[in-house]
Amino acid sequence: MILLIETATNVCSVGLVKNGQLIAQKRAEKQMSHASLLTITIQALIADNQIEMSSLEAVAISIGPGSYTGLRIGLSTAKGICYALNIPLIAVDTLKSLAWKTQQLYPKATYFVPMIDARRMEVYTSIYDFGLNEVIERQAKIIDESSFQELLAKEKTVVFAGNGAMKCAETLENSNAKFIELDCSAENLPALANDAFLRKDFADMAYIEPFYLKSPNITKPKKIKW
């Protein structure tokens, strides 16, 4: 059984995977409270499903890109559980997990463009084809009228999905484009996490860091005048 943790955005969610199937999930509805709610939500998930922590075989974490603080909290919690139980850690690309979920909703589409809101008209994004191969690597992209025009000109269905997709809908309006609001959620992780588990594709817990994609926006405090 694999514990799933998703804290890359303002949604904090966890889940359980058994034999490749999502058997339970739980969300903390209060946004941006990952530090106080993540461990409580995990404990509730375990209790509700009447299992022991010792039955976990791995922990899968959504590794980014996304919120600097959220990713740090999620990874530190995942590491703590893995160290305590002596089980492996699985890192799942957050954008690819969004693309996987989008493909489940639109199985006949040709391209999938996950978008995580990075404020204003910037998004974290990439492009995946029908086989979930990364066509364009992950990047922080400012969206304007010229964005994705080459892709949209191919007369194939392109689905833009994620919490950054809808704000781009008017700018990228095209007959080949579909836009859906989609949370980064633990329910997006099961297939990718299970596949990595079967391949024994485990993270090195001594060196793994969240994938921020760009440096956090940290401002220096103003000098206090005495």
Band of pLDDT at residue 36, cut at 50, 70 and 90: confident
Instruction: Kindly report, residue by residue over 169-211, the tens digit of the pLDDT.
Output: 999 999 999 999 999 999 999 999 999 999 999 999 999 999 9
Asked if residue 164 has pLDDT above 80, the reply is yes
- Rounded mean pLDDT of 47-70? 96
Res 125 pLDDT > 80 = yes
Cα 208 to Cα 66, 78, 104, 174: the distances in Å are: 16, 11, 29, 39
- Strand partners of residue 180: 161
Find the mean pLDDT for residues 74-89. Answer: 97
d(CA 60, CA 75): 9
Do 82 and 203 contact (CB within 8 A), yes or no? no
What count of Cα atoms within 13 Å lies in the side-chain half-sphere of residue 32? 2
Q: Which residues contact 20 (CB under 8 A, 6 or more apart)?
A: 190, 191, 194
What is the CATH class of 95-180?
A: alpha beta
Q: What is the mean pLDDT of the chain?
A: 93
Residues 206-220 have a mean pLDDT of 77
Task: Tell me the fold of 2-94+184-198.
Answer: Nucleotidyltransferase; domain 5 (3.30.420)
- Give 91-106 pLDDT, tens digit per residue: 999 999 999 999 999 9
Residue 213 banded pLDDT, cuts 50, 70, 90: confident
Position 31 scores a pLDDT of: 63
- What residue type is assigned to position 71 of the chain? L
Label residue 32 by pLDDT band (50, 70, 90). Answer: low
Q: Could you tell me the pLDDT band of residue 226, with boundaries at 50, 70 and 90?
A: very low
Convert the pLDDT of each residue in 136-153 to its tens digit. 999 999 999 999 999 999
Alpha-carbon distance of 124 to 42, in angstroms, equals 27
For residues 50-74, give the mean pLDDT. Answer: 96
Q: In CATH terms, are 2-94+184-198 and 95-180 the same topology?
A: yes
Higher-scoring residue by pLDDT: 113, 34: 113
Report domain extents, the chain.
2-94+184-198, 95-180
| Full-model pTM | 0.92
Helix axes of 94-105 and 190-198: crossing angle, nearest 10 degrees: 120
